[in-house]
Chains A and B, each alone.
Chain A
Amino acid sequence: MPVVDVTFSALPAHVRTARLVALAVARRAGVNDDLLDEVRLAVGEACSRAVGVNGDHSPGSAVRMTLSDEQARFTVEVVDVGPLEAGAAEPDLDALSPEQLSAPDAGGNDVVPDLPPGFGLAVISGLVEEFSVSSDGDGTHVRMSWPVTGGVGGTET
């Protein structure tokens, strides 16, 4: 059962708010302090991506973040209204070439992003053990979860 549901306009300024809310709820749910930086970064990546996707496909559509706490897991789901980037369902960090990414470039055209599409998802996959991405007619769902150890009713590690 969702405990906190946040819907926000697809604007970069709101991503910080989403991170702060997720962090507060994770702490309250009993996610170990050692994992909170990971929660903050992963939620930030998922929300930044969703803001970008909605901005490209449907700027008026909101991003939805659902935070739930059940079966000793804290789960975050971020939903946008656009398609998944090609190849991003199974992000592969090893496929990224750091040397190639940072090849000299005078950068005349600022519209070209400095990192490939799907990079944020790749970061989440490198960070979070329990992570999945799915796409349906409504959009893309990014789901990730962490163990709850300190909350009331939480399991011992």
Chain B
Amino acid sequence: MDLSLSTRTEGDRTVVTVGGEIDVYTAPKLREQLIDLVSSGNYHLVVDMENVDFLDSTGLGVLVGGLKRVRAHEGSLRLVCTQERILKIFRITGLTKVFPIHATVDEALAATD
């Protein structure tokens, strides 16, 4: 399975729906997508990972890179994920402290800091 990516706008936020496997081979595609969004002025991102079935540290690095970029513009990057096997890597690395993680896209869209 490859990586699938789609984006849509919801108010002032952009939802990026990711599916498949985010690893050393596919992560550059996601990185490119996040960089494109930030360069074109989308600073509030919601990354929906409910259909991701594999995420490794390369993918984590891309999400961290995205977070750094939106933060440089006072933006936000929220994740949507309820799958234990994906959440585990965030927990081990302590990155649950830096990413707001939501159970649904609606919850992420409604969230404010």
Taking Cβ atoms with an 8 Å cutoff, the residues of A that contact B are 12-13, 15-16, 19, 37, 40-41, 44-45, 48, 51-52, 93, 96, 98-99, 101-107, 110, 113-115, 119-120, 122-123, 126-127
Contact = CB atoms under 8 A, between A and B. Distances in A.
Top 10 closest pairs, chain A to chain B, by CB: A104-B71, A114-B65, A126-B92, A114-B61, A12-B25, A105-B68, A48-B24, A115-B61, A106-B72, A12-B24
A44 B21 CA distance: 11
B5 interface: no
Interface of chain B, main secondary structure: helix
Interface in B1-45: 21, 23-25, 31, 35
A104 B72 contact: yes
Contacts of B60: 115
A122 B61 contact: no
A104 B66 CA distance: 10
Contacts of B31: 110
